[in-house]
Amino acid sequence: MLRRTALTVQMVADRFAGEPAGFDYDVLTPADAAEMLDLARLTKPGPFAQRTRELGRFLGVRRDGRLVAMAGERMKPGSFTEISGVCTHPDHRGQGYAAGLMRDVALAIVARGETPFLHAFADNLGAIALYEKLGFVTRWRPTLTVFERPAG
């Protein structure tokens, strides 16, 4: 059964712009899983489930002991690694957290000899503008299709 469709963009980068993260962040661990899922549910950065954090390294920013921003790695087809789970709590946007985390995640991917890529919903113009500012370019425009298994 068809559950949802959405237009998306896939972007790839071979160069990066912007400054290094001007804030402290942590490498997130299994102990952070519940907070990561809560932040993803609040901000809806795309597919993010209970075990998504196990697919790669995630970085996170804490303020007053609370996870307020994160970015990490997910799919790794061939020599490519997807940057995923990029999100910032609405109360903490505009601080450069997404850009700084993405840049550091991407540089780690490049240091391993891989190419970073990402997906965004096509109507998320603010995110796409940020990604372009960081050096990502649109590779193609796939349609996300989500199916649900019928009960029974």
In this structure, is residue 37 part of a structural domain? Answer: yes
In this structure, is residue 152 part of a structural domain? Answer: no
Which residues, 6 or more positions from 51, have their beta carbon under 8 angstroms from its beta carbon? Answer: none
In this structure, is residue 86 part of a structural domain? Answer: yes
Tokens for 32, please give them: 């952070």
pTM of the model: 0.88
Among the listed residues 86, 3, 103, the one whose alpha carbon sits nearest the alpha carbon of residue 39: 86
% residues pLDDT > 70 (the chain): 99
Interval 91-103: pLDDT, tens: 999 999 999 999 9
CA distance 143 to 146: 10
Angle, helices 97-111 vs 125-134, to 10°: value is 50
- Flag whether pLDDT at 46 surpasses 90: no
The predicted pLDDT at position 146 comes to 84
Among the listed residues 81, 107, 112, 101, the one whose alpha carbon sits nearest the alpha carbon of residue 39: 101
Q: Which domain holds residue 119?
A: 2-147
What end-to-end distance do the CA atoms of the chain give, in Å?
13
In this structure, is residue 73 part of a structural domain? Answer: yes
Query: What's the domain count of the chain?
Result: 1
Based on DSSP, count helices (H) and strands (E) in the chain, helices before strands.
3, 8
In this structure, is residue 95 part of a structural domain? Answer: yes
Mean pLDDT, all residues of the chain: 92
The strand pairing partners of 117, in sequence order, are 12, 82
CATH of the domain at 113: 3.40.630.30
In this structure, is residue 27 part of a structural domain? Answer: yes
